[in-house]
């Protein structure tokens, strides 16, 4: 990404625009990553609409990598539709990286995780 790209929005109309509110943040004013991911999901669903009311969703998460200060998790989501006919569709997946932070809000080393 070029430096000039950091100071301007992409061309075209955004799919979704939303402003975080205080209830979407922790006591330090940081917006919850989960709230942002929920907005990503809403934006992605606008053109795709892959999940329907009444679908039974199954989420499968596994750790794919650990670093000194972070852990990476892959999540796959499946929808079971028309449960009488057993149609199962993979609707999305995401790879998430979580960084451990200390009281100073800077990255800190991960604790020893059993089994990893």
Q: Which residues of the chain have pLDDT under 70?
A: 1-6, 47-49, 83, 113, 115-116
Q: Residue 64 has which token pair?
A: 């794919």
Which class would CATH give 52-116?
alpha beta
- State how far the alpha carbon of 21 is from the alpha carbons of 26, 30, 43, 51, in Å: 11, 11, 18, 27
Cβ atoms of 95 and 72 closer than 8 Å: yes
Cβ atoms of 74 and 61 closer than 8 Å: yes
pLDDT at position 5 is: 59
- Write down the domain spans for the chain: 1-49, 52-116
- Would you call 102 helix, strand, or coil by DSSP? coil
pLDDT at position 115 is: 65
Cβ atoms of 81 and 75 closer than 8 Å: no
């Amino acid at each position: 990404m070029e430096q000039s790209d950091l100071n301007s929005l992409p061309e075209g109309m955004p799919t979704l625009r939303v402003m975080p509110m205080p209830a979407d943040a922790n006591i330090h004013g940081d917006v919850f990553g989960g709230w942002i991911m929920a907005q990503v999901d809403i934006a992605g669903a606008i053109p795709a609409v892959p999940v329907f009311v009444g679908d039974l969703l199954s989420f499968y998460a596994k750790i794919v990598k650990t670093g000194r200060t972070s852990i990476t998790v892959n999540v796959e989501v499946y929808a079971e539709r028309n449960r009488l006919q057993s149609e199962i569709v993979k609707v999305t997946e995401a790879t998430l990286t979580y960084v451990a932070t200390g009281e100073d809000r800077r990255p800190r080393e991960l604790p020893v995780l059993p089994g990893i």
